Amino acid sequence: MRGLWKVLDDVALRHVTGRAWTTPDGTRPRVLLLKFSSVAHADHLRRRDSALTGEALLQGVDGAEVLDRVAGDVRVPDVTAYAYEEKAPYGPEETLWAHIRAGDTLAVVTQTREGGAPTVPFRQTLVLQAQLLG
């Protein structure tokens, strides 16, 4: 959490909101929306968090691999998405996450599940969130 506050000190964060739930199969999706004072600040945090492989906004994730096939499904004008999966070995649960930038808003979508996180529901959550932001 310390890394998150250090990163947020560098950007002009205006509003934060989030939602999390658990599905019947134990999958835990979470959506965090961060609204900044400008597009540049939102993109700065996205680039910085990507370079840190999620360490700033995700605790317990040591490395990432890009999921181009998932982010490529987001086809919303003026919205960009970047999807990642935790590198193996990932311990008891796997984490998938994505950054979605729409203007001055950055969404961080995560999905964790014990034994491995399925990509199809993650892709659906990512596409729907991108459509809501677009």
> Rg of the Cα trace of the chain?
14
DSSP letters spanning 85-132: EEPSP-TTEEEEEEEEEETTEEEEEEEEEET---HHHHHHHHHHHHHH
pLDDT in tens, the chain (134 residues): 445 566 666 667 888 899 999 999 999 999 989 898 878 877 777 666 554 444 445 545 555 666 666 667 788 898 988 888 887 777 888 888 888 889 889 898 989 999 888 888 899 999 999 999 98
Q: How many CB atoms lie within 10 A of CB 42?
A: 24
